[in-house]
Amino acid sequence: MAYGVLFDGTRCIGCRACSVACKSWNENSAKVEKKTSVEGGIQGKAVVSSDTFTFMRYREIGEGDDFKWAFAKIQCMHCLKPGCETACIVGALHRNKETGAVTYDQGKCIGCRYCMVACPFGIPTYQWEDRTPWIRKCTFCSDRLNEAENGMAPACVTACPTRALQFGERDELIEEAHKRIEESKAADPAGVGKYIDHVYGEKEVGGTAWMYISSVDMTELDLPWLSEEPVTKNARTAMSLLPYYATGMLALMVGIYFITKRRQKIAAGKHEEKKG
Amino acid sequence: MTNHWIDIRNADCVLIIGSNAAENHPICMKYVLQAQAKGAKVIHVDPRYSRTSARADMFIRIRTGTDIAFMGGMIYWILEDMRKNPGNYNLQYVQQYTNAAYIINSGIKLPGDEGQNGLFSVWDSTNSKYDTATWKYADPANATGESKLLTDNWSGWTSRAADEETAWGELNNNCVLKLLWRNYRRYDKATVSKITGIPQEKLEAVYAEYAKTGATGQAGTIMYAMGATQHTYAVQNIRAYSIVQLLLGNMGVAGGGVNALRGTSNVQGSTDQALLEHILPGYLKMTTDVDAHQTLAGYISNITPAATNPPGDLAGDNPVNWWKNTPKYVHSLLKAWWPDVALADSYNYLPKKRATGVNYTHMGLIEAIGKGGPDGVEGLWIWGQNPAAGGPTSLGARDALKKLKWMVASDIWFNETHTFWKRPDVDPSTIDTEVFLLPAAGSFEKEGSVSNSGRWVQWRYKAVEPPGEAIPDLDMMIQLFKRIRKLYDDEVKAGKTSVIPEPILNLSWDYSDEEEADVIAREMNGHALTADVPKSGAPGTFYEVGELIDWFNDLQPDGKTSSGNWLHCGQYTKASAADQQDYAELITVVNGIPSINKAKKRNVVDSSPSQVGLYPNWSWCWPRNRRIIYNRAAVDLNGNPWDAEHPVLAWNGTAWVGDVVDGGGNPINLAAAGSQNLPFIMNSEGVGKLWGYSLKDGPIPEVYEPWESPISNLMTAQQNDPAAYIGKLLVDGTDWNERGTVGDFPIIATTYRCTEHWQTGIMTRNLPWLAELMPKMYVELGADLADKLGIVSGDTVKVRSKRGEIHALAIVTKRFQAITVDGKEMHQVGIPWHWGYAGRVKGDSGNILTPSVGDANTCIPESKSFLCKVEKA
């Protein structure tokens, strides 16, 4: 048992309330870029970054009467078998089996950024601009999920005005997703319905907590085509080679250790301030 | 809204026209999508494919400003289909609840009639206005034979074999239904397609789809916003929607209605409280300098309509004519303001607006500021507004502001208007205006009510203290008036006679300096001033002096009651035993009586039959907590709901159940002659007006072109709405409101808002998270046009109109596409107006481009259709 979120593209109105709710809950700052993205017929932020855990992707698909303006909310998918977790040599990234959230422990991170390479969705980002950088990504609002049984849900889900985002037990969401697809088919005299008959994330890379159904193929929204094979399998092979390099890296690691310690001290101070 | 937000979920078809609901009213899409999930079709008609279109089942690309052609075509389609397939329509509704069967004056001429050249009868070219005598009903007494109405001869309509007028059986030539048909038969699909740019097959598809809601028991809603209203014939656009809704029996029913999605929070409240120049609170007509308004009695008799009793077979029906109560409401208003002054005297305190020659609306005000000097406006107190970016022809408006001697601004941020004197390219030393800013509390930093589009008056509490010296606008207003009163008092005491002190000195203003919203809510409701005010809820009993009035029917003439706004009468009343039990925490003791401000109610139980979403104990709504107005039209003559699945109202044999019934009394068939209450109680005839007679520019909508249009009117020789307001924004001899031609400005432009920003952007461009999402002023243009102009997405482009030039980021999109109008390919571009030179992220305002011309009736500016030119910067 673990939680999931189902994104239904036929319900999304692209309002980006989720983006703002995310920044609000996570106290992430805003940065007005000199050059804004104009992809998909809209300007705005179109990448995850160390202070943007989620964004709305817009794509103009098709022509004439088949034209569609499709939306997808992009954030960490919280894989059931996370590549980042396997790639992390110090166990800083970890999937909580109760909640399904893949979270990050800055106390353990050494800043090697293997997780960034291992993620098939390109989600973890590094605080390049910070002198004491950490890896940053969507946390599944794991600090809210502790209260999930009392009705708490991730901040973005709570903010969604049209219930395009639905939070719940992952198994139940999969059932719900297929139900919506089938019902839509049944209501359509042509038997097609408004959805593509695919729950993205149900099986991709061994399954993800965040899943999508939509009227367009999610690869048209630039989500990667992925097999059912977990990333962890390949990542594990790659990681098994690591000891051979480890000796050579020892000096570097010692250096990193000191940086990490110093960074944690500064950050602890920052965090206290924030809380206050 | 005639209905309310949640009610949208009951619709069988949702027609969104002139609105981008998903981006500008995102929350309502919850209900639109709920309707869609139950099988309703969602239709979006707009120049641009937007996020609303993305969720629609049908997107119809229309040339901006051609709603009347589109809707006129629909009216014609429906009338023809009604003839061929009468079983698909609720003909009883049309016969009984609209003025379809009424006979119009025999002198009426329609715009398409010979010699009319696009004008109705009779245009007075000397005074540039209509003489509306021929728009009125034929006098039943003098129209023997004519008043024998359609009810007998409905079969003459539906069995009509051919299209010719001669095949109309016994239908009177001047009956409303036939006049409609005669006007809109010119709106065939070929003509409508040429004007609107919508292909004929799409017109057929959309007309057929929406007309399905004409069936008994089906409901269609029309949702509109500024895309419909910012035109020189805006009110006629809405009239066109109303006519369609009446023909289809969609008024008064759950999931129906003509629903204005209000453009800003509490704008419904602001019009209810008369923050407009043509009304007093509660939509009472404004006092003017006409002879009739010189006395209270004259004013009342002038503005109180007489009932129009239905002729012919419909005689015996009661039009109710609710506005007959006008005297009670006017007297109670005067008593709320000046309780200790005789009514005839306090009436004289009211300012009398000039009936002609002065435009008191936004554009007229800016023009008067531009004039400067004693004939103009010398000082401006501006509350949360931003005319330097929010109104049309911004460069002219900004230039005009320099003529002000002083400006006081109450706001939460500095905006473009407050900082006009130091705007880019202007030397502050050349501007003498003295500007003061009073920091105001934000909406969550004060208490009070907010009225939403669905007329719900919802109480809000203060969440946080305002920062620094900021205080609520209400506190500012209270303290300001106390100081003004002291000045008058001092002058009187000093023996000065040049002032008229009584209106100021006698005004009821016994407020403390802060937090008086609850007290003002009580004043709006009103109370008994004498001990002989009968209580209709408990016959034989009377209100105590000072007791809050239960509902507006108990308001009295002759100064026995007060009420600051009759529509709000019933919001704050003596608490019933049930209220005292269920809402104990909301009870306030007023004059020793436990009372309740129902706007504070937050009960999430929907107690309405079949759960149609009325939620009667969530807040309170005017009038009388009636959630769907004209709800008597939701039932047949026996009181049975047309739609048994979504009953707003039903007669259970002894009483009405469901919503608060409009007008009271028994169902028509179960009432005595003379008490057969018709549903449209606010109209003097008691029925819905397919044909009107009170607008300045025609009894029914007719196609005219926007002031700046790429084509000549294809329908008639009359290019523009004859009564439209054409502004003259003169500042030091320069008229900023110049008109461009299609030769110089070949591209059609329209303005709009996006989700991420609010109005001129002052509340959102200052919020980092929102500024980050939409940082730059942009213009959206079609990929086909961009290709021609050599523009790619991300380029900076110049957009020019005859009134100015802006720079913007180009968003090249497939969502805009060329349309074919009258055989010619035309392009439309979209321009938001959220930016300016104040705030965290800056940019040019789209309103630099818009013209100062306005609707014939309301004077709302025509921001939605004008001409421009786009170039790579």
Q: Which pair of tokens denotes residue A74?
A: 């992009």
ipTM of the complex: 0.93
Residue B847 Cα to chain centre, angstroms: 21
CA–CA gap between residue B33 and residue B762 (Å, rounded) = 31
- b/e A217-233 (16+ beta carbons within 10 angstroms → b): ebeebebeebeeebbbe
CA-closest candidate to residue B437, choices B408, B415, B470: B408
What is the distance between the alpha carbons of residues B514 and B480, in angstroms, rounded to a whole number? 12
Q: Rounded distance, CA A267 to CA A271, Å?
A: 6
Mean pLDDT of A230-242: 67
State how far the Cα of B79 lies from the Cα of B74, in Å rounded to an integer. Answer: 9
Cα A128 off chain centre by: 19
Instruction: State the number of CA atoms in the 13 A half-sphere of B235 facing the CB.
Output: 19
Strand ranges, E, within B665-746: 676-677, 725-726, 730-731, 734-735
Of A23, A32, A38, Cβ closest to residue B793? A38
SS (H, E, C) B213-262: HHCCCCCEEEEECHHHHCCCCHHHHHHHHHHHHHHCCCCCCCCCCEEECC
The burial of B555, by beta-carbon neighbours within 10 Å (0-12 exposed, 13-18 middle, 19 or more buried), is given as: buried
Q: Which residue of A has its CA nearest to B808?
A: A43
User: Following DSSP, what letter does each residue of B355-382 receive, concatenated?
Assistant: SSS---SHHHHHHHHHH-TTTS--EEEE
- Gap from A239 CA to chain B (nearest CA, Å): 38
User: A37: Cβ–Cβ under 8 A, 6 or more apart, which residues?
Assistant: A43, A44, A45, A46, A47
Triad B239, B242, B243: Cα angle to 5°: 90
**Per-residue pLDDT tens digits for B128-181:** 999 999 999 886 554 444 444 444 445 555 554 445 554 455 567 788 988 999
Q: Which of A38, A50, A57, A180 to mutate to test the interface with B (most CBs of B within 10 A)?
A: A38
A111 shares contact with chain B (CB less than 8 Å)? no
Quick one: pLDDT at residue B155? 57
Q: For residues B816 and B795, is the Cβ–Cβ distance under 8 A?
A: no
Say yes or no: A31 contacts chain B, CB-CB below 8 A.
yes
Asked if A36's CB is within 8 angstroms of B776's CB, the reply is: yes
Sheet strand arrangement including B13-17: B58-61, B41-46, B13-17, B220-224, B258-260
More confident residue, A231 or B130: B130
Whole-angstrom distance, CA of residue B861 vs CA of residue B366 = 12
Using CA atoms, how far apart are residues B420 and B411, in angstroms rounded to an integer? Answer: 15
In a mutational test of the B interface, the residue from A32, A59, A184 whose CB has the highest number of chain B CBs within 10 Å is A32
Interface test mutation site (partner A, options B5, B754, B776, B831, max chain A beta carbons within 10 A): B776
Residues of A within 8 A of B771 (CB-CB) are 30, 32
Please give the Cα distance from B561 to B546 (Å, whole number): 9
Task: Provide the shortest C-alpha distance from residue A206 to chain B (in Å).
Answer: 31
Interchain CB contacts (distance < 8 Å): A and B = 98
A24 Cβ under 8 Å from any chain B Cβ = yes
Instruction: Count Cβ neighbours within 10 Å for each residue of B669-700 and write b for 16 or more, e otherwise.
Output: eebeeeebbbbbbbbbbbbbbbbbeebbbbbb
Of A31 and B713, the structure prediction assigns the larger pLDDT to: B713
Angle B16-B17-B23 from CA coordinates, rounded to 5°: 65
Interface contact A11, partner B, CB < 8 A: yes
Least confident of A147-156, A245-254, B653-662, B808-817: A245-254
Q: What residue has token string 């805003």?
A: A30
- The percent of residues above 70 in pLDDT, for chain A, comes to 84
A262 touches chain B (CB under 8 A): no
Question: Hey, which residues 750-789 in chain B have their CB within 8 Å of chain A?
Answer: 755-756, 768-776, 778, 780
- Please, which pLDDT band fits residue A273 given cuts at 50, 70 and 90? very low
- Is B166 exposed, middle or buried (CB count within 10 Å of its CB: 0-12, 13-18, 19+)? exposed
Q: Are B254 and B10 in contact (CB under 8 A)?
A: yes
- Interior angle at CA B273, CA B834 and CA B267, nearest 5: 20
> Contacts for B473-479 with beta carbons within 8 Å, 24 or more apart?
B473/B383, B473/B384, B473/B410, B473/B440, B473/B441, B473/B446, B474/B446, B474/B448, B474/B516, B474/B517, B474/B520, B475/B513, B475/B514, B475/B515, B475/B516, B476/B410, B476/B438, B476/B440, B478/B509, B478/B511, B478/B513, B478/B514, B478/B516, B479/B513
Cβ neighbors of A203 (< 8 A, separation 6 or more) are: A228
CA-to-CA distance for B331 and B316, rounded, in angstroms? 31
Report how far residue A15's alpha carbon sits from residue A44's, in angstroms, rounded to the nearest whole number: 12
Contacts of B23 in chain A (CB under 8 A): 13, 15
- Asked if A36 lies within 8 A of B23 by C-beta distance, the reply is no
> What pLDDT does residue B157 have?
56
pTM of the predicted protein model: 0.94
Vertex B576 angle, CA B573 and B580, to 5°: 105
Q: Please spell the DSSP secondary structure of B621-650, one letter per residue.
A: ETTTT-SSTTGGGGB-TTS-BS-SSS-SEE
Phi-psi region of B220 (alpha: psi -120 to 50; beta: other; left: phi over 0): beta
| pLDDT tens sequence across A160-214 | 999 999 999 999 999 999 999 999 999 999 999 999 999 999 999 999 999 999 9
CA distance A81 to A87: 11
Rounded to a whole number of angstroms, the distance from the CA of B767 to the nearest CA of chain A is 9
Instruction: List, for chain B, all residue ranges whose pLDDT scores fall below the cut of 50.
Output: 142-153, 160-162, 166-167
**Token duo for residue B130:** 């209509």
